[in-house]
Amino acid sequence: MPDELTTPRPMPDGKWSAGSLRITSRTISAAEISEALGIDPHDKFEQGGLAIPGNPERSGLGSDRWPEEHAAALIRLLEGRHEALGRLAVDCEVELLLGFGSENGQGGCVLPADLREVGLLGIDVVLDLYRPTLDDVSSTAE
């Protein structure tokens, strides 16, 4: 197999990405979701509680890794949990979140065919693209 397919390629300077798994429900508590999956979340919020927005690196990978790498790490986290996810899906929304940002406002990612496991898990993929901040734009114009 060619090295470029097995060796992670570096994320270009000025670009970042993140990945996380979001499970929400109006009827099942965060503790019940954690117990069903056997996974302790990095963050959990109960309905009516204070939720702090942000994009922590929940996939366990750094922001210098490509979105498809975050997706693959999260899929590995869910291995052997297909039945539990199926039961939760009746009362929960399950989403694989991928975020991508770039100082110059341009970029993207490829979700390769070998990530078909997302479809087999019945998980929606949400791709959030982040615009550069005014500071980013002014620094690239100089």
pTM metric for this prediction: 0.74
pLDDT, residue 128, reads: 83
Spans in the chain with pLDDT lower than 70: 1-8, 43-57, 105, 108, 114-115, 132-142
> Cα(93)–Cα(17) distance, rounded to whole angstroms?
22
126 bridge partner residues: 97
> Cα(54)–Cα(63) distance, rounded to whole angstroms?
13
pLDDT, residue 125, reads: 84
Q: Which residue has the tokens 């954690």?
A: 34
Query: How far is C-alpha 84 from the chain's CA centre?
Result: 19
> Cα(103)–Cα(77) distance, rounded to whole angstroms?
30
pLDDT, residue 118, reads: 78
39 with 76: CB under 8 angstroms? no
Q: Which residue has the tokens 């065919």?
A: 113
Q: For CA atoms 11, 126, 39, 49, give the dihedral sign.
A: positive
Burial of 110 (0-12, 13-18, 19+ CB in 10 A): exposed
pLDDT, residue 135, reads: 53
What confidence tens digit (pLDDT) does each residue in 80-108 have? Answer: 998 999 899 899 998 888 888 888 767 76
pLDDT, residue 37, reads: 92
pLDDT, residue 141, reads: 42
> What is the helix (H) or strand (E) element at residue 22, kind and residue range?
strand 15-24
pLDDT, residue 5, reads: 47
Q: Which residue has the tokens 């397919």?
A: 5
